[in-house]
């Protein structure tokens, strides 16, 4: 997924039971089938309605939960949108960075909440149950990955490490075991090109894209070698679903959103909501024909295949 990344590298431009009678003697008793006991216990809802006039800032990831609800990762934890407005998760209110949704949860990094038992920074976190359950995968207390992308189905991680850890120097890394271990990417073929972001393919573990002012490059060997995929436009953000890519290109002061079907080899233009200098696209997510877009002024939009609906305007909860 994908956040803007400005990275100098080599010659790269800087951007990066029922009862019955007893049976008689000649009758055979019917087998007894045990039934599971029903329960009326209610699962607690740990999501609280967000108060009016709340200001949302620092959106560091966005997408759709498995139930289809939009979700954003913010400076103070996770928020989801329901029919009656925005809700916040009352637990695990961490400052998530590099938030990336996968088929049954998410990956993230960032900084723990003040009352958290986790070390700062978080390293690599795997979240399930909509963020109620967290598992530290690696690098707790060492790494804060602002730039991390996870394959939605494959769960391959591709990251850029800005500051050295005990064992890792700054640079590009991949993890094919869900963030438990990392190995460096060679990044051959990117020389002289600006990198604005990195994005894992949704289903192919070793397929990864980089994008920026010189277009899109693709690697099929885990980021060791890259070749041009689309080098005609300035790409500001991307998203991937199985067999699909979506990307936003900037031309002058305007933006264009394209959705590519990689199987049919077709491309469709989707008209974007109105943008300005303060609301440039920063987060894009695609799933089953729906798109979610977040902009730099903390606005959030959903496209349902026919039109855009604004869920959050400039970070203001109504």
Which residues, other chains included, contact 44 with Cβ-Cβ below 8 Å and sequence gap of 6+? Answer: none
pTM of the model: 0.86
- Give the pLDDT confidence of 93-150 residue by residue, as tens digits: 999 999 999 999 999 999 999 989 999 999 999 999 999 999 999 999 999 999 999 9
DSSP state of 207: -
Nearest C-alpha neighbor of 84 from the set 311, 313, 304: 311
pLDDT band with cut points at 50, 70 and 90 for residue 318:
confident
* Residue 262 pLDDT exceeds 60: yes
CA–CA dist 131, 28 (Å, integer) = 53
* Residue 42 pLDDT exceeds 70: no
Poorest-pLDDT segment among 25-34, 64-73, 115-124? 25-34
Which residues, other chains included, contact 8 with Cβ-Cβ below 8 Å and sequence gap of 6+? Answer: 14, 16
Whether residue 3 contacts residue 15, with contact meaning beta carbons closer than 8 Å, is answered with no
Averaged over 242-252, what is the pLDDT?
94
- Give the pLDDT confidence of 294-312 residue by residue, as tens digits: 999 999 999 998 899 999 9
- What value, to the nearest 5°, has the Cα angle with vertex 244 and ends 238 and 197? 20
Whether residue 114 contacts residue 93, with contact meaning beta carbons closer than 8 Å, is answered with no
pLDDT of residue 6: 39
pLDDT band with cut points at 50, 70 and 90 for residue 197:
very high
Task: Give how far the C-alpha of residue 302 lies from the chain's centroid of Cα atoms, to the nearest Å.
Answer: 15
Q: What are phi and psi of 88, to 5 degrees?
A: -115, 140
Three-state DSSP at 64 gives strand
* Residue 228 pLDDT exceeds 50: yes
pLDDT of residue 35: 40
């Amino acid at each position: 997924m994908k956040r803007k990344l400005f990275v100098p590298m080599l010659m790269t431009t800087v951007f990066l039971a029922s009862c019955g009678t007893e049976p008689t003697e000649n009758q055979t008793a019917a087998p007894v089938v045990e039934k599971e006991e029903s329960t009326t216990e209610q699962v607690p809802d740990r999501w609280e309605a967000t108060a009016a006039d709340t200001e949302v800032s620092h959106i560091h990831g966005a997408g759709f939960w498995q139930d289809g609800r939009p979700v954003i990762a913010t400076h103070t934890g996770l928020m989801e949108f329901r029919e009656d407005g925005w809700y916040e998760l009352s637990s695990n209110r961490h400052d998530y960075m590099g938030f990336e949704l996968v088929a049954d949860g998410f990956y993230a990094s960032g900084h723990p909440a003040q009352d958290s038992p986790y070390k700062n920074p978080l390293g690599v976190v795997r979240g399930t149950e909509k963020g109620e359950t967290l598992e530290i995968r690696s690098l707790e207390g060492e790494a804060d990955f602002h730039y991390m992308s996870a394959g939605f189905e494959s769960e391959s991680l591709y990251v850029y490490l800005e500051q050295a850890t005990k064992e890792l120097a700054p640079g590009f890394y991949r993890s094919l075991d869900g963030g438990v271990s990392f190995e460096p990417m060679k990044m051959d073929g990117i020389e002289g090109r600006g990198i604005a972001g990195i994005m894992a393919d949704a289903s192919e573990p070793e397929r990864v894209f980089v994008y920026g002012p010189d277009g899109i490059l693709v690697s099929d060997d885990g980021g060791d070698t890259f070749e041009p995929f689309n080098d005609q436009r300035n790409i500001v953000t991307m998203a991937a679903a199985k067999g699909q890519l979506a990307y936003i290109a900037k031309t002058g002061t305007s933006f264009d959103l394209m959705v590519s079907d990689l199987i049919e080899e077709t491309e469709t233009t989707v008209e974007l909501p109105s943008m300005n200098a303060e609301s440039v696209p920063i987060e894009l997510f695609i799933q089953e024909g729906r798109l979610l877009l977040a902009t730099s002024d903390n606005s959030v939009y959903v496209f349902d295949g026919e039109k855009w609906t604004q869920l959050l305007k400039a970070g203001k909860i109504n």
